[in-house]
């Protein structure tokens, strides 16, 4: 196995932020929900503090749509 790269070969990575413990991370899209749930469960008694970076939420639909090819089927 080679070292993981920063390319998106495994799909889009989504930045998450937690204002309570000043954590930021980039998580593969498919793992975001589980990662946030575990983080909040372990560190914040289940409070929904960690979340997807608000700056990205607006673009997330586009990101996913692009990844799925929905916006790029004209070529
Ligand atoms: Zn936290």
Ranking 5-14, 37-46, 56-65 by mean pLDDT, the lowest is: 5-14
Condensed to tens digits (0 to 9), the pLDDT of residues 47-69 reads: 999 999 988 888 877 877 777 78
**pLDDT at position 6, please?**
53
Q: What is the pLDDT of the chain when averaged over all its residues?
A: 83
- Backbone phi and psi for residue 50, each to the nearest 5 degrees, phi listed first: -65, 140
- The residue range of the domain holding 56 is 13-67
**pLDDT at position 7, please?**
55
Query: How many whole angstroms from 49 Cα to the centroid of ligand 1?
Result: 6
Query: How many whole angstroms from 26 Cα to the centroid of ligand 1?
Result: 14
Query: How many whole angstroms from 13 Cα to the centroid of ligand 1?
Result: 19
Which helix or strand (DSSP H or E) is residue 51 part of? strand 51-52
Q: Does a structural domain hold residue 6?
A: no
- Backbone phi and psi for residue 40, each to the nearest 5 degrees, phi listed first: -65, -35
Query: How many whole angstroms from 19 Cα to the centroid of ligand 1?
Result: 7
Sign of the dihedral through C-alpha 70, 10, 56, 41: positive
Q: Does a structural domain hold residue 50?
A: yes
Q: Does a structural domain hold residue 57?
A: yes
pTM for this prediction: 0.67
Q: Does a structural domain hold residue 72?
A: no
Q: Does a structural domain hold residue 27?
A: yes
Total structural domains within the chain:
1
Q: Which positions ≥6 away from 60 have C-beta within 8 Å?
A: 14, 52
Q: Does a structural domain hold residue 48?
A: yes
């Amino acid at each position: 196995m080679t070292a993981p790269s920063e390319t998106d070969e495994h799909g889009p990575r989504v930045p998450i932020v937690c204002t309570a413990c000043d954590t930021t991370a980039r998580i593969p899209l498919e793992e975001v929900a589980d990662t946030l749930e575990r983080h909040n469960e372990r560190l914040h008694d289940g409070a929904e503090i960690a979340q997807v970076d608000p700056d990205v939420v607006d673009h997330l639909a586009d990101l996913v749509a692009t990844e799925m090819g929905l916006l790029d089927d004209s070529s």
